[in-house]
Amino acid sequence: MPEANVATFRSYSRFSGVRSAWRRFQRGLERPLTPYYLILGSSALILVLGLMMVFSASQIEARLDGLPFDYFFKKQLISIVIGAGLMYLAVRMPVRAHRALAYPLLLGVVVLLLAVMVPGIGVQVNGNRNWIRLGGFFQLQPSEFAKLALVLWAADLLTRKQQMKTLGEWKHLLIPLVPVGFLLLALVLAGGDMGTAMIICALLFGLLWMAGAPTRLFSASALLALLASAVLIITVPHRLSRLGCIGATHVGSDGSCFQAVHGIWALASGGVFGTGIGASVQKWGQLPEPHTDFIFAVTGEELGLAGTVSVLVLFAALGYAGIRVAVRTKEPFIRYAAGGATTWIMAQAMINIGAVLGLLPIAGVPLPMFSYGGSALLPTMFAVGLLLCFARSEPRASAALAARNTRKRRSKGNKQARRRFLRRPHKER
């Protein structure tokens, strides 16, 4: 065989192997239980990796505050255990129970957001009055639960309107969804939480898009949101200074871009594989909030590009699975709730990572299930439980789970029968 033909044959063989692997990968994605396992696996890995990074990033911060070095780690571990219980509850609850939870949860969140403004109940942290102290160990941030309440309530509302065939009229599409969303925005902004307000806006846009809102409505809403954001940024000096730190690589004379620049330096010093767990330099008092808002920067410094890309891949897998659950279901409530929960988690991840990379202003939002903070972790884990519940409830997935459980019972029965057979005396066999 001529050498040219041999080279062509080898090249074809390599490409044939790549195409075969790609087809197997596509077939794996098409399996009915793939979204369920992607959501479960990616969220579990995010939680484990995040807990490890919280332990590494918070030690210096804890010692500077006069606390035990594992103080934040223990609190995060307790929050994960409680969140795991909430996730399991969300998975086991039927869909109708989630719908029944929507209105009580929304009412409870509104009451808590109002209670934050009451002197003696609300607590001010870092200039924002959006916390409620629970004893001497935990603090609750009601605005984090507002996102979960809006997802469930809006999904139930839009489902009922779709069943009544009134979503085609813009009045029914906007009312009462937008007024209630604006009420939550006003209560959240009253406490100074601009980051959560941005996520609620993204969630509202996502819900309107899923409900089939016309393009002109989106354009008008986007223009209104931009004008409102401009007013809110211009009227508060520290927000305007954060906007000016986008893309900054040097600390200003007034120190306004200190956090943004040190976050970039942390990412730049990590290289491909990082400096190693616990070897971050920026967390030694140089980088504010290393275990919360800027934990992604510490991850880049200690785990390098490989670590940050791994985090991005995990969030991409979670987002893909959530979108697939929303797209493939025939149940309106599942579509709206799954789409809303996915929009919330992905928007929050993008805002946090974009701020660390210097592409967006620093909004003060944690990285979902990765950063330290029980108030943000608990509703997010419940939302992940929602996605798992919806992924299991899809007809093909339910059939696959039932078949798998049947095979397990048969295999267990065969093993028990074999053990009983082997225990008999030799003459009875």
Mind giving me the DSSP string for 380-395? HHHHHHHHHHHHHHSH
The answer to whether 109 and 146 have CB atoms below 8 angstroms apart is yes
User: Rg for the chain (alpha carbons), in Å?
Assistant: 25
Higher pLDDT, 251 or 344: 344
Residue 38 lies in a domain: yes
Count up the domains in the chain and report the number.
1
- What are residue 125's DSSP bridge partners? 128
246 assigned to some structural domain:
yes
pTM attached to this predicted model: 0.89
Q: What mean pLDDT is predicted for residues 53-64?
A: 93
10 Å CB burial of residue 99 (0-12, 13-18, 19+) is middle
Question: How are beta strands 138-140 and 128-134 bridged, if at all?
Answer: antiparallel
Residue 7: band (very low, low, confident or very high) from pLDDT cuts 50, 70, 90? low
Strand order in 122-125's β-sheet? 122-125, 128-134, 138-140
In a domain, residue 96? The reply is: yes
The beta strand positions in 14-140, using DSSP E, are 122-125, 128-134, 138-140
CB atoms within 10 A of CB 247: 11
| Model confidence pLDDT, tens digit, residues 93-114 | 999 999 999 999 999 999 999 9
pLDDT band, very low/low/confident/very high, at 131 (cuts 50, 70, 90): confident
Q: Evaluate the omega torsion of the peptide bond into residue 176 and state whether it is cis, within 30 degrees of 0.
A: yes
Residue 415 belongs to some domain of the structure: no
Residue 19 lies in a domain: no
pLDDT on residue 150: 97
37 falls within a domain: yes
CA dihedral angle for residue 169, residue 171, residue 176, residue 180, rounded to 10 degrees: 120
Q: In the prediction, which pLDDT does 398 show?
A: 75
> Does 8 fall in a domain?
no
Write the pLDDT tens digit of every residue in 272-313. Answer: 999 999 899 999 878 888 999 999 999 999 999 999 999 999
More confident site: 19 or 370:
370
DSSP 366: P
So what's the pLDDT on residue 404?
Answer: 74
Q: What pLDDT, on the 0 to 100 scale, is given for residue 267? A: 94
Q: Which domain holds residue 231?
A: 33-392
| pLDDT tens digits along 189-219 | 888 788 899 999 999 999 999 998 888 877 8
Does residue 235 carry a pLDDT above 80?
no
Q: What tokens does 189 get?
A: 């902004």
Residue 267 lies in a domain: yes
Among 12-26, 161-175, 217-231, 338-352, which is the least confidently predicted range?
A: 12-26
